[in-house]
Amino acid sequence: MTVPGAWAGVLLALAAYRLFRIVGYDTITQPLRERVTGYKDSDTLPGDVTDAKLAYLFRCPWCLGWWVSLAVWGVYEASPHWALVAATPLAISAGCGIIGRNLDG
């Protein structure tokens, strides 16, 4: 098992956050989410979510965040160098979004 240093850990965390936002919340992936889950983002899920587990997964930040983080970690374990290369633009994008949201008020 490869344990990342502090800098690589921050880079991977920011990349996982950005991927989580892309998959779960960004408008660009909304048609894909709707096709996969069968629910529109504005739909109210039924009280019994057993029929809507996939839709619930996409709407639950803890659930989706776990799976995205696990995927990022798996890629890092398979190839640490290339995982960090791929994570860099995602981490920069996450940083821009976080800074922009907090500075734009």
Prediction pTM value: 0.85
How confident is the model over 52-67, as a mean pLDDT? Answer: 88
Residue 50 pLDDT grade (very low, low, confident, very high; cuts 50, 70, 90): low
What angle do helix axes 61-78 and 6-24 make, rounded to 10 degrees? 130
Residue extents of the structural domains in the chain: 7-41+48-103
Please enumerate in sequence order all residues whose Cβ is within 8 A of that of 56, keeping only pairs 6 or more positions apart, or say none: 45, 49, 63
The torsion angles phi and psi of 89, rounded to 5 degrees, stand at: -65, -35
Q: State the chain's mean pLDDT as an integer.
A: 90
Residue 15 pLDDT grade (very low, low, confident, very high; cuts 50, 70, 90): very high
Helix (H/G/I), strand (E/B), else coil: 43 = coil
